[in-house]
Every structure is written in C-alpha cells, then in structure tokens.
Chains A and B, each alone.
Chain A
Amino acid sequence: MANLANLYDVSKCTACRGCQVACKDWNQLPAVIEPFKGNYQTHEDTNGDTFTIINFFEYEDPVDGVRWNFIKRQCMHCLDPECMKVCPRQAYTKTSWGATLHDPDKCIGCQYCAAACPFDIPKYRKREDVITKCTMCADRVEEGLTPACARTCPSGALTFGDRDELLQKAEARAKFLRANGFPRATIYGRVELGGLNNLYVLTDTPDMFGLPVNPKVSGNITFWQDWIQPYFGWLIPLMLTASATSFVTSRILASKHGEHGEHGEGGHE
C-alpha cells in the first residue's frame, strides 16, 4: 500500500490553530491551560494532552523586514521511526500506509521513545502513566476519512494524501515560492531521516522554523538500540515484579530525558 502523508504548506498557514483544537476534539483531549508568556504560542512544546501545536517565530532582516513564521509540529511519522526501535515493549507499530502508532495498553511509561525521537514528540501523560502522541488519526484514515487537522484546516495549508503525489505538489509549490518572493523556499521531509510522512513546504530554511536542519539519531540512542534494547525485552518482566526496580529505571530514564532536552539534537527554539 502506498504511503499516505500530510503535506503542510507554511505559506498558506495563518496560525488560526484550528488544527490544534480539531486534534483535541477528535482525540478527546482536555485543555492544558498555562499562563501567557509573551508569545502567541500556547505551550513551549507538545504535551501528554496536546499532540500538535503551532510554533511562532519572529524575525527581522534589512531585506525582508518583519517575518512571522508559523509551523505546525506533531509526530512526523518517520518512515524509519526511532521510537519503534527503542521501545522495550514493542508498543509501536507501523500501519501499512505509514502511520506510526503507539499502543497505550502495551506502554509502561518508560519514556525511552521520548528520548530517542529526533523531533522530541512522544510525551508522557502522568495520569495514565503512558506515552501519547499524534496517531495521524488512524481510526479516521482506516475508514477513509482524512486526519482531523487536515480536515479542519480552513486556509488549505494542510493536505492529506498519497506521499509521492504530495511530494510532487510540494516541489512545484516550493519552486513557485522561490520565484515569488521567497528565494530560500524549500521542502522538508523528503529525505530527512530517510523520509517523513509529514512533509513541509517552507518559505525559508528549516532552522527559521525551529526544525533540525539535518536531524540525526543521537549517539547514545544508537548504542541503546544496538546493545541494550535487544536484551531488554526479557528484562522487563523481571523489573515489573519488583516495583523498586521499575522506580529506579524510570528515574534513570527521567534524568536521561532531561539531558536530552538540554543538549539533544532535536531541540527547538
């Protein structure tokens, strides 16, 4: 089956954030109200009850004047997802059409995936002790509907469809933008990390949107997936029998996550 993808064209996004709310409506997520911090962006990052957010970036240069860049962030549904490789419980699966799914019933809340993700996407939901993230609305797609975000986008910035076709469309659009006032316009997600199922048409270089220019899997993650993960599967049942062990494990992982947040490759802002 062909890969299905979301194409997000920043030049058509008005940051109305319909996608953010439609995502909550469809995925039945509560609001997470945090105080206003001097920026239109709601949260600094996605969280256990917020699968997608719009990031805002203000720039000014002598040629372009003021630019206000918006970009939608959510799981990229990588063709070759790191989260899936590191998960000790095999909670991650890939649908035949490309969505990376996470099964909360299998999840033990260890957050390895969160540390491994180059885009910092999987988030911990404390009240259920599980990881959550964007599902590409697989329940909708499997019944022939588009994901809630693409469905609601009023201005036409989001399109859901066949990845190859969308790539062609994206190329054409980037070319048009380069000729019409955005000489640095480019596309993102075609080759990054072996390809993403969330494709972007950008009006500027990826760093101007807080995207990692050349996303990589961090060194210790490679170590993890090559050496520890293969043996971890049989370690888990042992750990679960002793709650103290699981407490220690989660603490170790928590500190690792913190370190990633400060120095990780996938940091934003």
Chain B
Amino acid sequence: MSPAFGRGVMTNHIVDLKNTDCALIMGSNAAENHPITMKWLFKAKEARGAKLIHVDPRFTRTSARADLYAPLRSGTDIAFLGGMVKYIIDNELYHKDYVVNFTNAAYLIKDEFEFKDGLFSGYDAEARKYDVKSWDYKTDDAGMALTDPTLQDPRCVFQLMKKHYERYDIDTVCKITGTPKDKYLAVLDTFCATGAPNKVGTIMYAMGITQHTVGSQNVKSFSNVQLLLGNMGRPGGGINALRGENNVQGATDMALLFHIIPGYIDSPMNSVAHKDLISFIRAVTPGAGKLPFTNLEEFRELVKAGFPNSGWKIHSSKWVVSLLKAWWGKAASKENDFGYHYLPKRDEKKNYSHIAMFEAMYKGEIDGLFINGSNPVVGGPNANKELEAMTKLKWMVSIDLWLNESADFWTHQAWERAVDNPNVAKISPENIGTEVFFLPAAAVYEKEGTAAQTGRWVQYRWKGAEPVGESKSDLWIYNELVKKVKKVYEGSKRPEDEPIVNMTWDVENEHGHDDPIKVANELCGYSTVDGKPVEGFAKLMDDGSTACGCWVYCGATTLKDGKFIYKPQLRDNKDNSKTGMGLYSNWGWAWPVNRRIVYNRCSVQPDGVTAWPGDEDRMLVRWDPLALADPKKPESLGSWVGDDVPDFIKTVGPSNPAFTKPFIMRPEGHGCLFAAKTSMKEGPFPEHYEPWESPTLNTLNSQVLNPATKVWEPEKQSKSEQYPIIGTTYRVVEHWQTGALTRNLPWLAELMPNMFVELSEELAREKGIKNGQNVIISNTRGDVEAVACVTKRFKPFQINGKTVHEIGLLWQYGFKGFATGDTANWLTPHVGDANTMIPEYKAWLCDIRRA
C-alpha cells in the first residue's frame, strides 16, 4: 500500500466498518480470524443495507454470512481485480472528481515506458531485476510532473492503465480464476456500485492476499480499485489489512525487521549513499537527492524553504537524529554524526528476511538465535528445512510461555514423520550440538504495556494476575539480560563495542523495577534540554535537542498539571463524532497523532468545504476559513477542523497549490495508480503471474512466474504432472497462528483437537477418501498426515477448460500441546514476494492419498 498511498497500514479501523455500504472480503476469512469485524459489518447491514462479498477458494464461516460468495483459485487475485479495473473503466463507474484530483491518473509517463508480453521496460532476465528508469513521470524543468486533467493524453496514467487491463475481459479472467461467470459479474456489479459519490466500499484482506509471490501487487490491485472508486480516506472505505498478531503493527512500528529502523525509515546499508549521516538523510528524504547541502545547517534551511516531491517525509532528518539521541544519549553528538556509525550497516547485496535467514542458518552461517515468542518450526515455510537449519546453531534462546515446537526442536518427537522420506532429515538429540536456553515468560495479563491493534489504536494492558512460578515479563528479561551484557562489555575501550557500552538504558523506575512507562517516555520522545515529553512529531528536532525512539509514537505522552500522561491508557469510550461515525478519539491513542482514519482529506470534496454529494454524514474534516489554527494566534486564520485529526497540514487552505494533495506521505501527494520508480519491484501496474508451483501456464502473457521473484531452491519445485493438486493453508477461529498460544489451552484444544485437511466431495470420490479418514498429503518437501474433512464447501475449479482440485490444510499444528498434529508448513515452499519476501504459503502443489 505504501507505494500507492505512502503508508502500509490499515487505513481505517474496526469500528469504522459499520459505516460501509459494501465490504469486499478477499484473501481474508474475517469471521474466523477477526471475528469482531463481523459485529460491525452486521451493523452496517442493518443500518445501511450494506452488502457483504466474500471471495475465497473455499466456502468458510465468512462466506456463510456473506450476501455473495465467489470462489477463485489461489494465486489469481490480480486477474480477478484486473478484470474489475477494466470493468470500472469500461463502464465509467469510477469516481471522476476523486480520480482527477486525488490520484496520479492525470500524470504523464515517460515515452520509454512500455509493457510487452508480461514484461515492463528495463528487464534484465539474468538478474531477474528491472532497471526502473523509464517507470517515471514526464517533468517540467522544476522537476514537477506534467499532467493532463482531461485524462485523454495517451501517455497519462489513466489511459496507460486502461490499455494495460484491456486483456482482462470477463471470460479470460474466469478461465484463470475458475470463478463462475455469473458470480464474477455479481461481484463486479455489487462492489463497483460504490464508485457513486455517495457510496463508500471497503476492502478487507489478510494473509490470503500477501502470502504469494505477487503479494504486494495483489495489494496494489486493491489500491487501484479503491482509488478509482473514490473509496480511500473516507469512513466506511479504505483498504483494511487485518493484521494477524496482536501487536504485529507495533513490532513493525518498532522495526523488528531488517529493512527498516523505527518509524519506517530504511535501515542503513554499506553503500555510498549511506556512508555518513548527511548522505543517509539525503537518501531517505524524498526530493533531496540533488539538492546542494553538505551539512545539517544547510539542509535545515532548504527544509524551511520547502522543496518539491518531498511530502511529509521532508522531516526525516529530525526522526533519524532523534532516534540516534534516544539510543545513544550523550554519546550521540553533532561532532560524531549523532552516533550514526553505531547503527549496523547491512550488506546492500544481501537479503536478511525470514527465508534468507533460514537459508543462511541451513548453511551454518548463523551461530546464535533469539526466538521471542515465535515458533518457526511450525510457522516457517518449508518447515522441514527450517527445522534442520536450527540444528546448525551453536546456541538458541527461546522466550515463551510454553516449551513450543521450536524450543523442543532437538527432541526425538520433532523428527517423527508418518512417512519415511529419504529427502527429509531425521536427526537424534545426541547429534544436535545446540545449547538451548528457555526463558519462561509471563502471559499477557500477568504484565503490562501497550499494543497497537490493526487499526493503529494503541491500548494499554494492565496487569491482572501474577506470573506463574518464576516466569517473568519480557521487559524484565530484556532488562536483566542487557545488564548482564553491559557487564561483560564493561570497561571495553574497543571502538566496535561503543554501541553497547554507550547505549542508553533507562527502563527502571524509582523503585528499581523495570517499568513500561519509563520505556514509553523514551519511545514517544522527550526534550534533552528539560526532559519533558515532546508534544508531537512536528516538534522533533535534528539538532540533538530532542530524543525519540519512534517518531510515529511521538505525541502519545504528555504532561497534564505536572503529571505524566501515557495516552494509550485513556478510557473515555464516548464516540466524539457528531454523526455517530464511531471514532472514539478519546479511547487509547492512535498513531499518527491520534488520527483514526488516514488520508481523511478525501472525505470532503476537492474544494475542502463541501461534502461529497449525498454523503454529509461521513465528512471527517473540512476547511474552515474562520477557524484559528492556533487559538493563541489571531493571525493564524483558516484551519482544517472536524471530528478526526486532519491528515494534512492544518493551515494549508484552498488558495495553496498543495491543497488537493491528500496523500502527504507520498512525494507526489497523490494516490498512485501508477507506482513510479522504485516503488514496486515487478512493475508500476499489477500484472497476473502464476504461483511458483502452478497447475497451468499463464493465459495472459508468456511469463509464468513473477519475473522479479527470487527462486531459492529450483530443484524443490513440485511439478503438476506429479503433483496436480493445489494446496493452500489457513487458520480457524479456534486456533491462533502456530497454535502455541491455543493448543496449550484445553478449552481451545477441545474445539479443534486435530490437524485436518479440507477437500471436495469430487476429489474424495476420485481418491477413494472418506470423511474422517486419515490421509497423506505429499510433495517434494515432505509428507503430512491429517484427518480428511470432506466438504461441499470446496469445489473443483474449471481452469482453461480443465478440472483442477484445490485442498486446504490448517497450518496451526505441531507435536506439542493438548491438540497435536502434523505441520502443514512441511509442504510450503521457500519462495516469496519480490518486494517483501513474504513466503508463498497460499498456493503450491501436492498430491493426496489415503494413509
């Protein structure tokens, strides 16, 4: 989403679903994996007559409650949505005012840009990479993009898009996706009706969309549909990525990911562009590339004057320097680039994502591993290989509530398989030299701290019970461990040890106990001059006078009457919106700056004053020429006002040229139908490619696999001649992720006691499988035993005139807990999305037989 809008987050929030006129749930089984969303969708159905559409390979508990269910073959979302784009354009269902004013539809694209038979211009087949030079706007001398607001120029984004999707006609799409034509048409009719200015539709998705070799482009397809229909930045609309882990949003915000540092800033590399702080700031600030500056003082002057194509990220230097000050305190000074060199610089030629990490581990390149409440032996792709990789570790630390499958990877049980397979390793404990440390952690309500839910609401969790036995909160564990680490490095004068020796460590309160509030102070930002909280990220500085661990959380702390307030603890549950939109702005705190719906500038017409026709009740913000932006300054006349916090500079009014640019995190300021330059690895427009393991060739072009995807193990590709059945994986409401936190709970083990596989009655007949029997599912990577659940809810697909079967496995089982079973990820491949490296869990090949 970030390439389209500037941020990769869920745009709206859970309660806001009640404001929708139509919800397209695709690649998500919301009723099972995010049950509470259904409460708000049912309210929308009752109050607004909203329609619910579910698109999924299998009829689920979500489909059971949908008004319309359409099946599609796993891995064909781009074809499905590309056909939708064509339908919207052909039938002129797009929201014209919105498209012209709020998106880059009118931008002209360089003449060198072209698309031919599945490949965009600039492809290097050898490297499986694109040179993206031509994927760019035509600009004037000042570097501003040329546009044609009539959308008629053949080089404008709108026309190029129209041309690109010409091939995605309904019959072609249905041949690829296997969706019955009447169902597909019904989906198109129902959802595209939200292009009307007074209608708003929402899209809800989850891992069914992202866990593909084309995951990012799947999401980009949603962006295109929602921008065309004018559904972004409005209540009841948006693209709502339903996140799977209670604080995966927070963990991402804190950058527990190799490619970023806290606050979504690229992590530094061993490249010329990142060689020192000034180079780094140049690299991470859009539009700064060619500007003349050699130090921060000069840069500050340029920022003050403003420069084109920068967006809100023009402030990146303040976020970076404040982060460095938070981490290294006094040791970070103007003289030493604020300690920029302390930050690890990753190798620009290497990838360090999950798959890459386990490939490296497999090769014996990694000695020590921390597992922080995670379970890769069950949850990692190609889990047989990942299990074997772990045996090469010299030491491993597992922090968890239970001895899960990963903590116990060295036991005999971990290597037991229903089928003896020479390609799957079997290693006994005496041959595993890993030293394993298991640290028992406290459960969620045995400790306290905050979590950011999927809609970016940060809420506080108080402690309601004592940890069992000697188990401890993770914060206690990290605190004690850091004290030990600092001790072993104590007194070191080696420059390479400076980052540890000089790391600030202030997590204990006046009673000597580790305290999340102490951490919050650093995380949300304080003045290094007087120690007071920084009131918002607009007040962060790049001169060392502020420290802030993660700028997007800046503003969550404040002083009120001298008392420290952590806003996630706020519990005022009155809806502050005058029209009952359910914003609940005084409940907890949402980043950024407590904004509940991002890009909310779009909820009002381009003039900034008038509601979209017929939609007066869903206006989040509006321009008021008579309001004071700062109540203390009478000269600050004119301000954005409304129930939500405007996602816009408060004082920029209709007379300002930046006025109609609602996507402030994008350099262009406009929603991107065309993802320019380096935004996407495989092209500016989503194009359909088949999964790595697919039962068919690509109907739309001669490229089968996404041309930019890295193939890690070509020899492990399961071929359709031997493995003709599509396999996919998913979860059920009763279990969560790898099951460690649910299979150990008797009440949940009772509800879903064993691993099972769902298959159609047709396939069961073909294979002589009866409901409730044990079956074996196999491919090149392993064999899984499961109970057969033969169901009417799975149906064979007709793909290019051929019958293709698909089966679905729960991926939540392992050998530990009250509910056990084989691990579905023994079968999933080590291949991932070209941009994010998220593995392709959702579409691969296999065969099934009776056990």
Contact = CB atoms under 8 A, between A and B. Distances in A.
Nearest to A22: B747
A14 B64 contact: yes
A20 B42 contact: no
B746 A31 contact: yes
Most buried by B among A25, A30, A65: A65
B793 A32 contact: no
Contacts of A59: 792
A17 B751 contact: yes
Contacts of B819: 33
A37 B732 CA distance: 16
Contact of B750 (A11, A14, A33, A60): A33
A11 B335 CA distance: 67
A32, A33, A39, A67: most-surrounded residue (chain B CB, <10 A): A33
A14 B31 contact: yes
A258 interface: no
Contacts of A68: 59, 61, 63-64, 793
B804 interface: no
Nearest to B771: A38
Interface residues of B, number: 41
Contacts of B787: 35-38
B788 interface: yes
A70 B749 contact: no
B754 interface: yes
Given A155-B42, A156-B42, A39 B789 contact: yes
Contacts of A25: 747
Nearest to B30: A14
A17 B733 contact: yes
A33 B749 contact: yes
B638 interface: no
Interface string B34-48: 011011001100000
Given A17-B733, A33-B753, A155 B38 contact: yes
B753 A34 contact: yes
Contacts of B771: 38-39
A31 B818 contact: yes
Contact of A31 (B31, B39, B750, B791): B750
Interface string A17-45: 11011001100001111111111101000
B790 interface: yes
Given A17-B734, A21-B747, A154 B752 contact: no
Contacts of B793: 58, 66, 68
A32 B750 contact: yes
B64 to A, nearest CB: 4
A24 B791 contact: no
Interface string B621-659: 000000000000000000000000000000000000000
Interface in A51-75: 58-60, 65-70
B818 A33 contact: yes
B61 A14 contact: yes
Contact of A155 (B35, B753, B772, B791): B35
A42 B750 contact: yes
B746 A155 contact: no
Please report whether the interface of chain A is mostly helix, strand, loop or mixed according to DSSP. Answer: loop
B188 interface: no
B204 to A, nearest CB: 14
A12 B788 CA distance: 28
A18 B69 CA distance: 25
B792 A38 contact: no
Given A21-B748, A38-B789, A68-B59, A14 B35 contact: yes
B721 to A, nearest CB: 30
A238 interface: no
Interface string B769-796: 0011100000000000001111111000
A194 interface: no
Nearest to B770: A38
A31 B65 contact: no
B762 interface: no
Contacts of A21: 747-748, 751
A69 B746 CA distance: 26
Given A21-B747, A34-B753, A36-B752, A15 B61 contact: yes
Interface in A167-195: 181
Contacts of B732: 40
A209 to B, nearest CB: 13
A12 B754 contact: no
Q: Interface size for chain A: under 10, 10 to 19, 20 to 34, or 35 or more residues?
A: 35 or more
Contacts of A20: 751
Interface string B54-81: 0000010111110101000000000000
Contacts of A17: 733-734, 751
A37 B39 CA distance: 30
Nearest to A23: B747
A91 to B, nearest CB: 28
Contacts of A33: 746, 749-750, 753, 818-819
Contacts of B772: 36-38
Interface string B251-267: 00000000000000000
Contacts of A34: 750, 753
B35 A36 contact: no
Contacts of B790: 38
B184 interface: no
Contacts of A35: 753-754, 787
B32 interface: yes
B756 interface: yes
Interface string A65-94: 111111000000000000000000000000
A213 interface: no
B792 A66 contact: yes
B28 to A, nearest CB: 13
A253 B469 CA distance: 48
B40 to A, nearest CB: 9
Interface string B809-843: 00000000011000000000000000000000000
A154 B36 contact: yes
A66 B791 CA distance: 10
Contacts of B746: 30-31, 33
A32 B67 CA distance: 35
A145 interface: no
A90 B772 CA distance: 43
A16 interface: yes
A16 B746 CA distance: 16
A155 B733 CA distance: 13
A210 B591 CA distance: 48
Contacts of A70: 61, 64
A24 B773 CA distance: 30
Nearest to B36: A154
Interface in B537-586: none
Contacts of A42: 750-751, 753
Nearest to B732: A40
Contacts of B748: 21
Contacts of B62: 14
A16 B33 CA distance: 9
Contacts of A37: 772, 787
Contacts of A30: 746
Interface string B140-166: 000000000000000000000000000
Nearest to B42: A12
A11 B746 CA distance: 29
Contacts of A181: 67
Contact of A154 (B38, B63, B69, B747): B38
Contact of B35 (A24, A39, A60, A154): A154
Given A17-B733, A33-B750, A66-B59, 15 more contacts: A14-B32, A14-B62, A17-B734, A21-B747, A33-B746, A35-B754, A36-B787, A37-B772, A37-B787, A39-B789, A42-B751, A60-B792, A66-B792, A68-B793, A154-B35
Interface of A: 11-12, 14-18, 20-21, 24-25, 30-40, 42, 58-60, 65-70, 154-156, 181
10 contacts: A15-B61, A16-B35, A21-B748, A30-B746, A31-B818, A33-B750, A33-B818, A42-B750, A65-B69, A66-B792
